[in-house]
Amino acid sequence: MKSVKGTRDLLPRDTYLFQQLEQGALVHFARYGFREIRTPIFEETQLFLRGIGDETDIVSKEMYSFEDKGGRSITLRPELTAAVCRAVIQHQLVGPTDIVKLMYMGPMFRYERPQAGRYRQFYQLGVEVFGSDDPLIDVETIEALMSFIQPYGLPNLELIVNSVGDSTDRPAYLAYLREALDDVRDQLCNDCQTRMVRNVLRVLDCKNENCQSLFGELRPISDFLSHENRQHFEAVCNGLSQLGIPYRLNPKLVRGLDYYTKTAFELVSGDLGAQSAVMGGGRYDNLVQTLGGPATPAFGWAMGLDRMASLLAARGMEEKGPDLFLVFGERSWLDQALPWIVKLRHQGLEVTYDLRVGSFKSQMKRANRENARWTGIIGTAEWANGTVSMKHMATSEQTTLARENVAKFIEEQHA
């Protein structure tokens, strides 16, 4: 048997990259005041119908929905913003004067055509800020993202931003789009022809080259923004520039979800081919109210961990080996040394060995395969003297020391 189409097993070499991202995120975003929230894997289907929009591709084509034994329509979560908003409402997490910052990590599910970087079970890391429509929130939350990924040294990343307006100015732009595209309706792809009727703004997100060629002369949504929304977006752009964060304006960036208002942005990679978006997000000031809560402005983003991990792997980031691989001359010495090995582990070291205790040569090959940083060789002389010959695997430098000093030695070498 094999894994279901569109899913995959994350083997240890894969989970190492995920762990680096997840553990780093917990530390990094805590500095900004974010606290982790964990919601159920499945929710009532109605949550996503109301939250995401029933005309989006996610709801109309991609959701894993089923009827449970109680006759309720249940959906495996295709994204987490709507679920987090549901939790905020249910548990009354945001008061009238509160600003609440939440982060999440976990699996999502969408029935999409599997391809490189796209899976039917995929993983996201995301953050959400509730309680303020101040453009400073947009700027700070984007900066938190950029400073999180900066240490990984990923090339060819580009931040793309736009404003999609809101209910005060978007209707005029939608009317303009319908009128401007009416003459070329028959030349549009089937999806865009459907969007012309149901959600014309989404035509701008079409990846069909022929469709994109027809959009070249369209006026940008920025021409239709209200004075207030224009000021908000200018403040966001000025804030990013003030922090030295490069970005590119793209008036066709609308994102794939209906709940976005004002700021929308994506981070794309030139190294991912067709699926170039690493993450995306923006402002959704009406979503909490749409789901039955009080009027609560909000801003957030979600990052695809699968795509980030593939970028890290392409950069040569791989699972680190054990701190110490022990090589023994006799199997009986391994049995007698077990209490010492356990003590080393309790002192914080990752220690492994070859249980078979074959020849020195075979054990050293195993140490190389496991990418050990140090090899501790215990031959006849070392066993008799209570010492270990420590070999640094990268440089082949070697020194002998008492067993009780091994933990301190390795700690000092890697301080």
pLDDT in tens, 298-326: 999 999 999 999 989 988 888 889 999 99
68-77, 206-215, 229-238: which range is least confident on average? Answer: 206-215
pLDDT at 233 over 70: yes
Mean pLDDT of 325-350: 96
Quick check: 415 pLDDT over 90? Answer: no
Q: Is 246 exposed, middle or buried (0-12, 13-18, 19+ CB in 10 A)?
A: exposed
Predicted confidence (pLDDT) at residue 218 exceeds the cutoff of 90: no
pLDDT at 256 over 70: no
- Stretch 234-238: mean pLDDT, rounded? 97
CB atoms within 10 A of CB 400: 12
pLDDT of residue 156: 84
What is the model's pLDDT at position 318?
81
Q: Which of 42-56, 162-176, 217-231, 268-282 shows the lowest mean pLDDT across its residues?
A: 268-282
Residue burial 299-337, b: 16+ Cβ < 10 Å; e: rest: bbbbbbbbbbbbbbeeeebeeebbbbbbbbbeeebbeeb
Q: Compute the mean pLDDT over every residue in the chain, rounded to the nearest whole number.
A: 91
Mean pLDDT value of segment 183-206 = 84
**How far apart are the C-alpha atoms of 211 and 221, rounded to whole Å?**
18
pLDDT at 356 over 70: yes
Give me 309's structure tokens: 């991990």
Q: Considering the chain, what percentage of its residues have pLDDT values greater than 70? A: 97
Flag whether pLDDT at 254 surpasses 60: yes
